[in-house]
């Protein structure tokens, strides 16, 4: 068996072809990955403006207790006249600073009467003024190629007047589930059968990761059917995921079907629990990841082992999300021969402020209820005893499945 970190790195080291680039509107950019740097087209703010509602003036015109006549009222979007000596301008948040004015005093420290204003607090030059370019400068790189676009990034781009972007084409994924025992949800089920939860689960997981699931096929336990389904997926997809049928049973037919397509396994079996029967191969430079058939195992493997490869295939700059350390909150002892990824719920101790992780009470790979309950995976190293109070590395689910 290959150890977990080596297997993850081997996935990341896969050579990948150039990712196609396309142009999308800003409204379509959510979740897409930038294919080129975004460069500022203008200073932001584009001109000095007021950060508060108040009054603009030249500091030299202030005298304690002396009222200044109002020269003008400046609203956002208007071009003000130059500030006249000995006068004051009513100004509002976002309004341009009139030429010659060097400060803004907030309205709360001013008294206005009969078109004159008395300032009740000594003003300071430069206060309450947003300076041109203090946020972004013309020509500066705002976002680097490989950045995944969310609401914050799209908002920043919009400040520059940019309405279309070069992004990488969405990764096209094909999913193959296998097994005579599986039937689609909503269809009649025999007593010897179970519903195919892997297909909708993995489809949703890939959508969360920002990939496009092009096809989802199911093959019965037949070599020709498995071969045909894989061949179809390889012809249309950038990445193929098979689920089940990769162990050593008589009806585990994915491996021979891949070999018939000219694939050779790069690795087979990873020292992790759940999820030992994992394989990596490629057909005509298209990678295929073979996941275990158990839904909990398939989810865990895809989330913590395979997701960095998914991000690389998408063109993302950051492929491996952060891990965090936390303290186990449990009475149980964990001591496996493989690295174990416990489904845990993270929380902060109210007294100490320390991050704690509580394992789901049933860690069996058949416990699908553990997946929606958990918000992270705690990694317990192989051949080491861990229990309550011990520190572990945690893979936060919200980071590792997006």
Asked whether the beta carbons of 40 and 139 are under 8 A apart, the reply is yes
| Predicted model pTM | 0.90
pLDDT of residue 247: 66
Rounded CA gap, 85 and 97, in Å? 15
- The DSSP call for residue 345 is E
Residues 6+ apart with CB under 8 A from 342: 334, 357, 359, 360, 363, 377, 378, 379, 380
- In the chain, the domains with their CATH numbers are 2-20+169-314 (3.40.980.10), 23-43+139-168 (3.90.105.10), 49-130 (2.170.190.11), 324-400 (2.40.340.10)
Coil, strand or helix: which one is 157? helix
The whole-number mean pLDDT for each consecutive block of 10 residues of the chain, a chain of 402 residues, reads: 95 92 98 98 97 98 97 97 98 98 98 97 97 98 98 98 98 96 93 94 97 96 94 96 78 87 87 94 93 95 98 97 97 96 96 96 93 98 96 97 95
Q: Is 374 helix (H, G, I), strand (E, B) or coil?
A: coil
Q: For position 262, what pLDDT does the model report?
A: 92
pLDDT of 17 reads: 86
Question: Which token pair is 148?
Answer: 């995944």
- pLDDT attached to residue 265: 80
Q: What is the pLDDT of residue 170?
A: 97
């Amino acid at each position: 068996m290959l150890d977990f970190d080596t297997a993850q790195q081997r996935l990341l080291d896969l050579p990948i072809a150039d990712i196609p680039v396309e142009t999308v509107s800003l409204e379509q950019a959510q979740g897409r990955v930038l294919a080129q740097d975004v460069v500022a087209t203008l200073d932001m703010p584009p001109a000095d403006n007021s950060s508060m509602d108040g009054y603009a003036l030249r500091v030299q015109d202030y005298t304690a207790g002396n009222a200044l006549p109002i020269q003008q009222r400046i609203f956002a979007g208007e071009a003000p006249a130059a500030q006249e000596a000995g006068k004051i301008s009513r100004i509002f948040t976002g309004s341009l600073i009139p030429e010659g004015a060097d400060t803004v005093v907030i309205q709360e420290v001013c008294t206005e009467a009969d078109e004159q204003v008395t300032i009740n607090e000594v003003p300071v030059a430069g206060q309450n003024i947003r300076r041109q370019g203090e946020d972004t400068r013309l020509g500066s790189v705002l976002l680097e190629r490989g950045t995944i676009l969310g609401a914050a990034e799209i908002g920043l781009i919009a400040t520059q007047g940019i309405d279309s972007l070069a992004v990488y084409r969405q990764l096209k994924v094909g999913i193959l589930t296998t097994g005579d025992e599986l039937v689609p949800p909503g269809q009649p089920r025999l007593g010897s059968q179970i519903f195919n939860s892997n297909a909708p689960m993995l489809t949703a997981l890939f959508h969360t990761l920002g990939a496009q699931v092009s096809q989802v096929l199911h093959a019965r336990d037949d070599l020709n059917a498995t071969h045909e389904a894989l061949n179809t997926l390889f012809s249309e997809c950038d990445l193929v995921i098979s689920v089940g049928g990769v162990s050593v049973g008589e009806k585990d037919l994915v491996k021979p079907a891949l070999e018939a397509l000219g694939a050779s396994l790069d690795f087979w079996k990873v020292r992790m629990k759940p999820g030992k029967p994992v394989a990596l191969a490629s057909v005509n430079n298209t990678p295929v990841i073979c996941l275990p058939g158990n839904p909990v195992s398939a989810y865990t493997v895809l989330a913590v082992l395979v997701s960095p490869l998914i991000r690389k295939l998408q063109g993302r700059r950051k492929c491996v999300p952060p891990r965090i350390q936390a303290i186990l909150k449990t009475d149980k002892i964990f001591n496996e021969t493989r690295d174990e990824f416990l489904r845990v719920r993270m929380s902060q101790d109210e007294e100490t402020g320390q991050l704690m992780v509580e394992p789901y009470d049933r860690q069996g790979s058949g416990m699908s209820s553990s997946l929606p309950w958990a918000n992270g995976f705690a990694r317990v190293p192989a051949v080491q005893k861990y229990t309550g109070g011990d520190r572990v590395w945690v893979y936060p689910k919200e980071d590792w499945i997006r």
